[in-house]
Structure 1
Amino acid sequence: MTVYEMLLKEKDSKYKEFQAKLVPNIAPETIIGVRTPKMREVAKEVFKSDIRGEFLSKLPHKYYEENLVHFFVVSLIKDFDECIKEVEKFLPYVDCWPVSDQATPKCFKKNHGKLLPYIKKWIASDHVYTARFGMRMLMNEFLDEDFKEEYLELVASKKGEDYYLKMMVAWYFATALAKQYDASVKYFEDRKLDEWVHKKAIQKAVESFRVTDEHKEYLKTFR
């Protein structure tokens, strides 16, 4: 059975309509309509099967859900070097924010030293979703004990007019305000971010349960 056939068995027509509205930049006919838990189940099955290699090597895929399953499968690879190889092979084919945002390779957590150069390269990419993925990995992996103030600049200096790129910069800084407030608030005090990103990041921080009320009130003064 192919991955497409596996996904087709889980098709939900109403969910397809919902997904088409959620991801307006891809063609509706490329959406099957499969919920994320089901796709993760398919990915686990593919990961353990003898069709994994063939599926990962056949790019580009036709369907949105095939791309999601692809990244979910890659995220299950335990060997860092093998995982990175597959991530780099796939990133140029990522064409929307859910595919960029929902997969997080487990092996990244224990390989920060090897991961960081890749993150810097991804953020520097002109491909919107490669850059978005790089910023998300920096947000996920380097805003806690391995944080350095210089990482904020990697994201702040990323310029572009694409909505999904700017939204990721705002998301990163809203999260940074929750986790590394003293370092990140300077970017708002000094208005170092583009105006749209500046306002959106403040909005997201004010809506966050992880930012203190005191910090929220201070941030509101910079709207």
Structure 2
Amino acid sequence: MSYTIDGLTITEQLLRLTGRANKPFAERLHPGIPGVLGLRIPDLRALARRIAKQPDWERYLAEAEAGARSETEDFMEARILHGLVLGQIPVGALEPYLQHVARWVERINSWSVCDTFTFAGGKRLVAEHSEQLWRFLTSYLEREEEYPLRFGIVVLMQYFVDAEHVAELLERYLTVRHEGYYVRMGLAWAIAECYVRYPEVTEPYLSERRFAPWVHNKALQKIRESLRCSSEEKRRLAALRVPLPKD
């Protein structure tokens, strides 16, 4: 029997939200991704909070982890909702929780499914389990598939760009060799965030041009677009751009 909340299945709950959706805009942002409804993230977060407050939220997870029953119900937003619920449920023992996260990672099929994820408990959970979460996330940097790899890059950026980890994190990012667009964009975003927070640690990686040229240039672009970057820094960083073959 399908999981229900307020008497409606998850599919029915999602379709109920389409009155506030912008499907054409969302489809343009997710070319080639099937099942895009264009639902608003705040609406999905509100639904995720309601699910996580139910006494039978584990039934929801079991159904979500099994995947949609048919292609017509396999909405991208159902996968986003799954990740958002994982950011709301109570965490008892860490390992069972990470097993739930790992099963969800295998269902990521777009950048927005990946990027809306946060750990339940946020930075408090990370502070309590820093070593285990570092090992869990860095293991994804060894994956060959585009979206699990992006997951590792982006969530490490979210929680481990700090004084203790930034230098090792940059070294870990150097090991990533993947031509997928969303991996390269994730790397550029993460490098830019490292620079904005720790420029003295990150700038040598840029001045020595240690990252792949496309990633290097895109990271420079993102840094220079940041309001946290001074005009003098922008001028200095612009000179570090490397020519690409199409240049």
TM above 0.5: yes
Cα contact 2:142–2:176 (8 A) shared by 1: yes
Whole-Å Cα distance in 2 between the matches of residues 14 and 148 of structure 1? 38
Larger Rg: 2
1:143 maps to which of 129, 150, 161:
161
Residues 83 and 16 (structure 1), Cα distance of their counterparts in 2 relative to 1, 3 Å cut: same
Q: Alignment identity in percent? A: 27
TM-score w.r.t. structure 2 length? 0.84
Whole-Å Cα distance in 2 between the matches of residues 13 and 113 of structure 1? 41
Cα contact 1:67–1:94 (8 A) shared by 2: yes
Instruction: Supply the AA of the counterpart residue of 1:66.
Output: A
Segments of 5+ residues of structure 1 without an aligned counterpart are none
Cα contact 2:20–2:40 (8 A) shared by 1: no
Give the superposed CA RMSD.
Answer: 1.6
Report deviation, 1:197: 0.6
Question: Counterpart of 1:40 in 2: which secondary structure?
Answer: helix
Instruction: Supply the AA of the counterpart residue of 2:67.
Output: P
Instruction: Supply the AA of the counterpart residue of 2:83.
Output: F
Whole-Å Cα distance in 1 between the matches of residues 231 and 151 of structure 2? 30
Cα contact 1:100–1:129 (8 A) shared by 2: yes
Per-residue CA shift, 1:31-90, capped at 9, x if unaligned? 223111100111111112255323322332311111011000011133233321211111
Cα contact 1:83–1:105 (8 A) shared by 2: no
1:131 maps to which of 149, 165, 188:
149
Instruction: Supply the AA of the counterpart residue of 1:208.
Output: S
Per-residue CA shift, 1:149-193, capped at 9, x if unaligned? 121011122011110000001001111110111111111111111
Cα contact 1:189–1:222 (8 A) shared by 2: yes
Whether 2:85 is the aligned partner of 1:85: answer no
Q: Residue 71 of structure 1 corresponds to which residue in structure 2?
A: 83
Q: Residue 43 of structure 2 corresponds to which residue in structure 1?
A: 38
Structure 1 residues 90-105: aligned runs within 5 Å: 90-105=104-119
Where has structure 1 moved over 6 Å in runs of 4 or more?
Answer: none
Whether 2:180 is the aligned partner of 1:158: answer no
2:67 maps to which of 60, 65, 70:
60
Whole-Å Cα distance in 2 between the matches of residues 14 and 103 of structure 1? 20
Segments of 5+ residues of structure 2 without an aligned counterpart are 1-7, 69-73, 242-247
2:9 maps to which of 2, 27, 42:
2
Q: Residue 211 of structure 1 corresponds to which residue in structure 2?
A: 229
TM-score w.r.t. structure 1 length? 0.93
Whole-Å Cα distance in 2 between the matches of residues 144 and 120 of structure 1? 15
Report deviation, 1:195: 0.8
